[in-house]
């Protein structure tokens, strides 16, 4: 049995980048024979940006409800809250003793967040070590990541190799899975779609919220009576991701004089709403019944701890902490 693992931070409403970059490819893997999907809500990681306990609890339930509404089957997958498997922190410490400072200092994500004004905390700096523990604790074989997260997986492999070199062959080296079209989903401002940039398009917002985000997508100043070049633009990239089949007609419509960017944004809005409408009813039900979500998370955590226990014990024996 091979393990596919991914996690989503509990730091705000989930958006198109979360869905197409991680959730959709991960959910598709739940039906592949001989694969065990292991998916978690990263509430420990979220503490680097979420400061209010009520927000963290709400974001955690929201993230789990979103996974379940979008098709995750808890009978076929292991879905859990990261903090319900505290062994991850013991492993993070064992990994930290072999992790060079220089490796962490080269992390693109850390440098980017500092440039954006984030506090220079140890949690933010050591984020890749905890991420490595998340991955290695379950003997993961495959990790769906966006192109911007590929470096973190490479760091996980480096840390695992350094541990193995010092203490013996404890960890397998996981491989990344990057979707060709959705490695990086752009936000409405052109940067990577991210909750920290506040540039996302929510997948479960009401129509007014989604419309506001879509109508704010950055475009150029081409006059309405001129044809629009859509290939390579934000609008074009998002339409290709949301509904590839509709993209040729979208390009053709954009090339017609008299079609404005507002018209094109409305077309994209229609596609987004249609794409996620089938999930809305279940999402609303789960939001109204958080006890159902909690039961699934508790069951998933018990199964995750069963996977984690022998891996952590092997690491403890290798280091001399256990006999």
Q: Could you read off the pLDDT of 175-226 as tens digits, one per residue?
A: 988 766 545 789 999 888 888 788 999 999 888 999 999 999 999 988 888 9
Question: Do residues 11 and 46 touch, judged by C-beta distance below 8 A?
Answer: yes
Annotated active-site residue 113? The verdict is yes
Q: Which one from 192, 265, 282, 314 is the annotated catalytic residue?
A: 192
162 noted as active-site residue: no
Q: Which of 275, 292, 276, 274 is nearest to 64 (CA)?
A: 292
What's the mean pLDDT in 50-76? 95
Of the residues 29, 195, 228, 265, which is catalytic? 195
Contacts of 41 (CB under 8 A, 6+ apart): 7, 8, 10, 60, 63, 64, 79, 80, 81, 82, 297
pLDDT at 179: 64
Nearest Cα to Cα of residue 307 among 137, 151, 152, 162: 137
Active site residue 192: yes
Paired tokens of 308: 């984690």
**Is the CB of residue 87 less than 8 Å from the CB of residue 314?**
no
pLDDT band at 32 (very low <50, low <70, confident <90, very high): confident
Mean pLDDT computed over 87-96: 98
pLDDT above 60: residue 173: yes
Extended strands (E) in the chain = 2-9, 35-42, 78-81, 142-144, 175-177
Q: Which residue ranges form the domains of the chain, and what is each CATH number?
A: 2-185+290-319 (3.40.50.620), 205-284 (1.10.240.10)
Catalytic residue among 2, 52, 111, 113: 113
The answer, yes or no, to whether residue 309 has pLDDT greater than 70, is: yes
Burial of 280 (0-12, 13-18, 19+ CB in 10 A): middle
């Amino acid at each position: 049995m091979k393990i596919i693992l991914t996690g989503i931070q509990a730091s705000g409403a989930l958006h198109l980048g979360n869905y197409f970059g991680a959730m959709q490819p991960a959910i598709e893997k739940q039906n592949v024979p001989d694969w065990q999907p292991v998916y978690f809500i990263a509430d420990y990681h979220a503490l680097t940006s979420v400061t209010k306990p009520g927000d963290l609890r709400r974001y955690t339930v929201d993230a789990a409800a979103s996974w379940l509404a979008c098709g995750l089957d808890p009978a076929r997958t292991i879905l859990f809250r990261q903090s319900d498997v505290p062994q991850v922190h013991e492993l993070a410490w064992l990994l930290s003793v072999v992790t060079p400072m220089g490796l962490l200092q080269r992390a693109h994500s850390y440098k980017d967040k500092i440039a954006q004004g984030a506090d220079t905390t140890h949690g933010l700096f050591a984020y890749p070590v905890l991420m490595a523990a998340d991955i290695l604790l379950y003997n993961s074989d495959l990790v769906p990541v966006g192109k911007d997260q590929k470096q973190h997986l490479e760091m996980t492999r480096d840390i695992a190799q350094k541990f193995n070199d010092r203490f013996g062959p404890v960890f397998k080296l996981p491989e990344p899975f990057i979707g060709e079209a959705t490695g990086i989903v752009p936000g409405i401002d052109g940067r990577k779609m991210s909750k920290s940039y506040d540039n996302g398009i929510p997948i479960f917002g009401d129509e007014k919220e989604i419309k506001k985000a879509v109508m704010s997508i950055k475009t150029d100043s081409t006059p309405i009576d001129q044809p629009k070049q859509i290939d390579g633009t934000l609008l074009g990239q998002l339409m290709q991701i949301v509904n590839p089949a509709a993209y040729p007609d979208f390009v053709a419509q954009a090339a017609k004089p008299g079609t404005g960017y507002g018209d094109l944004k409305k077309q994209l809005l229609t596609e987004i709403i249609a794409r996620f409408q089938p999930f809305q009813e279940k999402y609303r039900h789960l939001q109204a019944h958080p006890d159902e979500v909690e039961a699934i998370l508790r069951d998933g955590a018990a199964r995750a701890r069963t996977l984690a226990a022998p891996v952590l014990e092997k690491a403890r024996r290798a280091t001399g902490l256990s006999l």
